[in-house]
A and B are shown apart, each in its own frame.
Chain A
Amino acid sequence: MISEPLRQALDLGVFWEYRQVLFGGLAFNAGIFVCAACLAFAIGLLAAILRNRRGRVSRGLGALYVETFRNAPDYVMLVWVHLVLPIMIGLLIGKRLEFPPFLSAVIALGLVYSGYLAETIRAGLQAIPRGNLEAGRAVGMSEFLILRRIALPQALRRMMPEILNNLVSLFKATTIVSLIAVPDLMYRVSMVTQQEMQPLPLYTGSALTYFVVVFCVASLARLIGERWRRSVLM
Chain B
Amino acid sequence: MGGNWERLVWNQREALLAGFGVTLECCAYAFGGAILGGLVLCLARLYVPWLRPLAIVLIEFFRGTPIFVQLVWVNYVWPEVLGWPTSFFAAAWTALALQSSGYLAETFRAGIEGVPRGHREAAMAVGMSRPQIFRRIVTPQMLIASAPALINQFTVIVKSSTLVSVITVPDLMAQALRIVNRTYEPIEILTATAFIYIGFIFAVSTLANMGAARLRRKLGLAD
Contact = CB atoms under 8 A, between A and B. Distances in A.
Nearest to A83: B186
A119 to B, nearest CB: 12
A64 to B, nearest CB: 11
Interface stretch (A37-45, A133-141, A202-210): A202-210
B80 A203 contact: no
B194 A207 contact: no
Contacts of A67: 202
B194 A173 contact: no
Interface in A71-115: 71-77, 79-80, 83-84, 87-88
A76 B162 contact: yes
A76 B193 CA distance: 8
Contact of A80 (B64, B163, B190): B190
Interface in A142-186: 172-176, 178-179, 186
A211 B57 CA distance: 11
Interface residues of A, number: 39
A200 interface: yes
Contacts of B67: 172
A84 B186 contact: yes
Interface residues of B, number: 39
Contacts of B190: 76, 79-80, 83-84
A18 interface: no
B173 A76 contact: yes
A232 interface: no
Interface in B93-138: none
A204 B77 contact: yes
B191 A214 contact: no
17 contacts: A5-B81, A8-B80, A9-B80, A67-B202, A68-B198, A71-B159, A72-B159, A73-B160, A76-B162, A80-B191, A80-B194, A83-B190, A176-B66, A186-B68, A186-B69, A211-B60, A218-B64
